[in-house]
Amino acid sequence: METLKDICRQFQIEQPVINIDVLASGHINDTYLISCSNNLNYILQKINNKVFNNINSIILNKVIVSNHLKNEFNKTETKYHVANFIKSKTDTFFIETNEGFWTLMEYIPNSKTIERAENNKQVFEAGKLYGNFIASTSTLDLKLIKETLPEFHSVPFRFFQFEEAHNQAKISRKSKAQELIDFVLEHKTEMFQLSELKEKNTFPIRVTHNDTKLSNILFDENDNGLAVIDLDTVMPGIVHFDFGDSVRSICSNTIEDSENIEQTTINLKYYEAYCKGFASETSNLLTKEEISFLPLSAKTLIYIMGLRFLTDYLNNDVYYKTSYSTHNLVRAKNQMALLKSVIQNYEELKTITYSSFNLKN
């Protein structure tokens, strides 16, 4: 087996590697911080080849979007950063070993990631950056971007996967999850709406990030947003995928791994800060239909993730990294608790959304 240092040596970096730290981020890929002797740092990532099998298209999507963002930022003198890919010594953007595919990227100096929001400013900045991502990629030719994980945010597809898992699940796991299973079935009709509207071409297709969690934003030490990272799931999609997934991840009062169901509620102050940040970059771009269904996207994306964690629990944990046997069940319960809170506060969410985007009710 090649060591991580051996892997790094296959990329075009001149200085020797002096330290490697594991970065505990993400449920799918493995990520490392590589420190070199001249104070230059890099991010090494092993892409999970069970989840991502069309590696060429994924890398191409990432490179095309990064280059496009770089050009847009230069044109508009935006302060945001884009992490450059370091090519391999054979001039490719990734290398392949028995264990999977590896990419190396520049580390953006003096940057930090945050797992859970600590103040309104961080949330506003995250909204602004993810809004900027939608706005900046709106000038990119959509035909260049491949759908690498088909139906990634399709509710009918995720529901079908849930049904398949349910049909073959162990009785013990099914009975532990019964309350959640009932909840999922009870809300099915409403949660299919966004996918149905997409099928009817109600919304423009845009370049979307599709994994807009808080930890995929880099901040500086004063909580200013610096960059959007983790472009693995960049695909053609609808703005709701990004907005809804952010609300799920950024505007909850707990993290998705928390067992504290009582505290798992929507934070309306954060929701407002997120909307304001997102609207500051996108309100001139989005259509009336897109804006009016943003609150529904919050419900839907929370439902999708709850469903996916539940499905993986019923499948005996084959997809997400887990640390204990009920880890996926805990995550699914957390997401469904958040969904209940969004349902209870839905009118307030709509009012905040429409006023942030200056849309008349």
223 binds, among Mg ion, ligand GN1, none (CB under 5 to 8 A by kind): none
How far apart (Å, rounded) are the C-alpha atoms in residues 161 and 145? 25
Which residues here bind Mg ion, judged by CB under 5 A? 211, 230
Minimum distance of Mg ion from residue 307's CB (angstroms): 18
315 binds, among Mg ion, ligand GN1, none (CB under 5 to 8 A by kind): none
40 binds, among Mg ion, ligand GN1, none (CB under 5 to 8 A by kind): none
Q: Which C-beta is closer to ligand GN1: that of 73 or that of 320?
A: 320
Q: Which C-beta is closer to ligand GN1: that of 161 or that of 356?
A: 161
| Residue sitting closest to Mg ion (CB) | 211
Q: Which C-beta is closer to Mg ion: that of 132 or that of 210?
A: 210
181 binds, among Mg ion, ligand GN1, none (CB under 5 to 8 A by kind): none
Q: Which C-beta is closer to ligand GN1: that of 256 or that of 281?
A: 256
Q: Which C-beta is closer to ligand GN1: that of 132 or that of 249?
A: 249
Minimum distance of ligand GN1 from residue 39's CB (angstroms): 28
Minimum distance of ligand GN1 from residue 279's CB (angstroms): 23
Minimum distance of ligand GN1 from residue 91's CB (angstroms): 27
Q: Which C-beta is closer to ligand GN1: that of 27 or that of 188?
A: 27
51 binds, among Mg ion, ligand GN1, none (CB under 5 to 8 A by kind): ligand GN1
Minimum distance of Mg ion from residue 228's CB (angstroms): 11
Residues 6+ apart with CB under 8 A from 322: 328
Q: Are 124 and 277 in contact (CB under 8 A)?
A: yes
30 binds, among Mg ion, ligand GN1, none (CB under 5 to 8 A by kind): none
Q: What type of residue is 51?
A: V
Which residues here bind ligand GN1, judged by CB under 6 A? 26-29, 51, 211, 213, 230, 233, 256, 305
27 binds, among ligand GN1, Mg ion, none (CB under 5 to 8 A by kind): ligand GN1
Minimum distance of ligand GN1 from residue 29's CB (angstroms): 6
Q: Which C-beta is closer to ligand GN1: that of 243 or that of 357?
A: 243
